[in-house]
Structure 1
């Protein structure tokens, strides 16, 4: 194998490693977006607290909670698909089971927040 071929393979390996890291940053960004949706639901409940009928304000908050859960699960699906497709070389990707666990925990917490907001 000549030097040019080896250098080209190294560049490809580094590019795949950067893509692995970019996938993790993208996953984290989507998780932050989902948490912002939960925060918006809590904020709407605070703003619309004395609003009558209460089911309207609760329904609007619930829309943001459901959106957050959708974001968490979509982020999980996309991140796991990308991790499965890429070859890591020097970068060590977050295991798929950890991505799934994190998105599950965030989804359950968002759902619990939605239940609490509905019962208030």
Structure 2
């Protein structure tokens, strides 16, 4: 009888561990989706200068390009904020995900490259 209870406790703990691992992986996939969205916004914004370079008035093109790059940077910030919160919650329970430093470095580098791209296309 006691063995059955121990077996059920072990099974319950294993299921909880797997659920926490799935949550960590889900958080990583969500951050990757934010990153893809940010990269798309930045890429389309920078490509717009070449595709629509002769658009008049010129200020309208600049507003669109800067807006898309800013939207990409904001997407990275939102993605990092969401991932950071989830990762910290999971770490309190003992589940580890990707290191926050690496994720933060990725977000900052991509944001800086997007902003630097604005100066390269003008």
State the 4+ residue runs in structure 1 displaced beyond 3 angstroms: none
Alignment counterpart, residue 43 of structure 1, candidates 32, 41, 47: 47
Normalised by the size of structure 2, how large is the TM-score? 0.87
Q: Distance in 2 between matches of 1:103 and 1:9?
A: 35
Q: Distance in 2 between matches of 1:55 and 1:104?
A: 28
Secondary structure of 1:63's counterpart equals helix
Alignment counterpart, residue 29 of structure 2, candidates 25, 34, 58: 25
Is 1:68 the counterpart of 2:68? The answer is no
Alignment counterpart, residue 99 of structure 2, candidates 92, 95, 100: 95
Q: What RMSD in Å do the two structures reach over aligned CA positions?
A: 1.4
Give, in angstroms, the shift of residue 39 of structure 1: 1.4
- Bigger Rg, structure 1 or 2: 2
* Alpha-carbon displacement from aligned partner over 1:14-61 (angstroms, at most 9, x marks no partner): 110111111111111110110000111123212211122322111111
More relative contact order, 1 or 2 (CA 8 Å, 6+ apart)? 1
Q: In structure 2, list runs of 5 or more residues that go unmatched.
A: none
Q: Distance in 1 between matches of 2:117 and 2:94?
A: 37
In structure 1, the residue matched to 2:82 is 78
Is 1:3 the counterpart of 2:4? The answer is no
- Does the 8 Å CA contact 1:17/1:88 hold for their aligned counterparts? no
* Alpha-carbon displacement from aligned partner over 1:71-95 (angstroms, at most 9, x marks no partner): 0111111101100001355xx5111
